Structure 1
Amino acid sequence: MSAPLLSVRGLDKKFGGLAAVQQVDMDLHPGVLTALVGPNGAGKTTLFNLITGNIPADSGEVLLDGASIRGRSPHHIARLGVARSFQDLRLFARMTVRENVLAAIEHTAWLWQPGGRSARRAREAAVEQALERTGLTAQANARAMDLAYAERKFLSVARILATGSRIWLLDEPASGLDLHSRARFVSLVRQAAAEGVTICLIEHNLDIVTELADRIAFLDRGAKLAEGDPQDILRDPELIGIYFGERRT
């Protein structure tokens, strides 16, 4: 396995007396899909928020290409190539699908941005490619609020695709998808990983985890209990018991 692109070392976060993330270590490698698994409240989304700078860590490090990005603003981390989705999607409801995707690369689309027509064509090509790969070309001029739920999910992924980010942090991107849409999603994510994208996925559907994950990191009560091969993790009776609500003493 190649050197990690992003590493978390000793990451810790408390909210009052609640330890949301406890001394978590984790490595994300190029072309490898890691699934974050654990019961509700395990700290999975909080870990994403710490990595992306949405909330500050109390201690520990987040390293990108070996350099610390802890304390950087979310938009700065995003521009370094760390993109994420949210459970609540955070789309611009009254903007079109195409406008939503273009907005994701707005820092390269300012009127005074250098590059002229060539750069503009490159931006437009990135948007159209993202729409094509997510199956949204026919809906390009529809408002986000008028899309079916599954198409909104794919729009959130299209926004990430258009940025060309090296790291995708996906927070329950397949939740609520029908079987056909789920197959589309699995194919899309597999293609991205095959192209070398580093992917970390929060997912409660263990069937999707089994289909996609190269590795699993299992969290409970903010602590990483195990990390490794999906089959080994999912065959561990203690971990599966925790996942389905049998608490540790």
Structure 2
Amino acid sequence: MQGLLSVRGLEKHFGGLAAVQKVDLDLQEGVTTALVGPNGAGKTTLFNLITGNIVPDSGTVTVAGAAVTGRRPHEIARLGVARSFQDLRLFGRMTVRDNVLAAIEHGAWFWQPGGGAARRAREAAVESALERTGLSHLAKARAVDLSYAETKFLSVARILATGARIWLLDEPASGLDLNSRNRFVALVREAVAAGVTVCLIEHNLDIVTELADRIAFLDRGAKLAEGEPAAILRDPELIAIYFGERRP
């Protein structure tokens, strides 16, 4: 069944390297899918192809049935697709609140139409995102002065404020302490319960098993398997690949 976001035959080469090889993937509404595989499997490249940061050599991406292949990242984002990056890409010298406000993109322009009602709606979205991520007390702090875990949650707050219905999260919980990790898991579960579709790249298999409804396993740019987490994580060949025992 075609998903809210669907990928068909997506392919990308960098010189002689096949970074993504004819990948098919469907992200269903209200379902969390984890992309799992060893380093260099093509997971982040797949995200970059979906969001328009890289143009594919072939294949298609659709969002709610609309073709988005070749469209610019901000155009795809306006269709309700939001993503995080491994390097977070925050505005270090801006406050936490302004970082979140900036993520609303054209809604944050001072000449944006809509008057006071629209401005209040934007402010409410920002305050809600800060509250849900536990950052309200740091609203006036600069991003550069936050702890590592706080920057991770700021990245999620920026996604929350956009109201995006599809989240692509690239190693969102890497390096988090146990308390922060549990907060992150609870936040994602809350979003999914509200109908958000999540796809995450995560090397912590404990988090994968806690959050994922489905796993797509990638290696060398190709999707080797897809299914329920228990089945994928019991497959001895896939686990051997994940832990570095390469196929011939």
Write out per-residue CA displacement over residues 60-92 of structure 1, whole angstroms, 9 at most, x where no aligned residue: 000111121000001111111110000000000
Residue type matched to 1:211 in 2?
E
Q: Tell me the equivalent position of 1:211.
A: 210
Q: Which residue matches 1:73?
A: 72
AA at the equivalent of 1:109: A
1:187 matched to 2:186:
yes
Equivalence for 2:172: 173
| TM-score where L is the length of structure 1 | 0.98
The residue type paired with residue 240 of structure 2 is G
SS at match of 2:98: helix
CA distance in 2, matches of 1:147, 1:75: 27
Supply the distance in 1 between the matched residues of 2:149 and 2:67 (Cα, whole angstroms): 36
The one-letter code of the counterpart of 1:176 is G
Find the counterpart in structure 2 of residue 238 from structure 1. Answer: 237
Aligned-partner Cα distance in 2 for 1:43–1:154:
25
Cα offset for 1:112?
Answer: 2.4
In structure 1, C-alpha distance between the alignment counterparts of 2:2 and 2:25, rounded to whole Å: 12
Structure 1: state its 5+ residue gaps: none
- Looking at structure 1, the residues matched to 110 and 156 of structure 2 have their Cα atoms a distance apart, in angstroms, of 26
Q: What does residue 220 of structure 1 align with?
A: 219
Q: Distance in 2 between matches of 1:67 and 1:128?
A: 32
User: How far 1:4 moved relative to its partner?
Assistant: 1.2
1:123 aligns to 2:131 (yes or no): no
- State the distance in 1 between where 2:38 and 2:208 align: 14
- What secondary structure, in the 3-state scheme, does the structure 2 residue paired with 1:19 have? strand
Mapped partners of 1:243, 1:19: distance in 2: 19
Aligned equivalents of 1:52, 1:225: Cα separation in 2: 22
What residue number does 1:7 align with?
Answer: 6
SS in 2 for 1:70: coil
In the alignment of these two chains, the number of paired residues is 248
- In structure 1, C-alpha distance between the alignment counterparts of 2:138 and 2:28, rounded to whole Å: 34
1:14-163 equivalences in 2 (<5 Å):
14-163=13-162
Rounded Cα–Cα distance in structure 2 between residues aligned with 1:111 and 1:136: 24
Give unmatched runs, 5+ long, in structure 2.
none
CA distance in 2, matches of 1:158, 1:44: 23
Give the counterpart letter for 1:172 in structure 2.
E
Partners in 1 of 2:218 and 2:105 — Cα distance? 35
- Give the superposition deviation at 1:182: 0.1
CA–CA distance in structure 2, aligned partners of residues 146 and 208 of structure 1: 27
Question: SS in structure 2 opposite 1:117?
Answer: helix
**How far is 1:106 from its partner?**
2.9
Residue 3 (structure 1) shift? 5.2
Q: Deviations over 1:114-146 (max 9, x none)?
A: 210000000000000000000000111000000
Give TM-score, length-normalised by structure 2.
0.99
CA deviations on 1:1-52 (whole Å, 9 max, x unpaired) are x851000000000000000000000000111000000000000000000000
Secondary structure class of the residue paired with 1:113: coil
SS at match of 2:26: strand
Q: In structure 1, how many angstroms separate the alpha carbons of the residues matched to 2:189 and 2:66?
A: 28
Secondary structure of the structure 1 residue equivalent to 2:18: strand
**Which 10-residue stretch deviates more, 148-157 or 104-113?**
104-113
> What SS does the aligned partner of 1:80 have?
coil
Residue 110 (structure 1) shift: 1.9
1: CA distance, partners of 2:110 / 2:159: 22
Counterpart Cα distance in 2 of 1:92 and 1:37 = 29
| 1:139-175 Cα distance to aligned partner (Å, 9 max, x none) | 1100000000000000000000000001000000000
Cα RMSD for the two superposed structures? 0.8
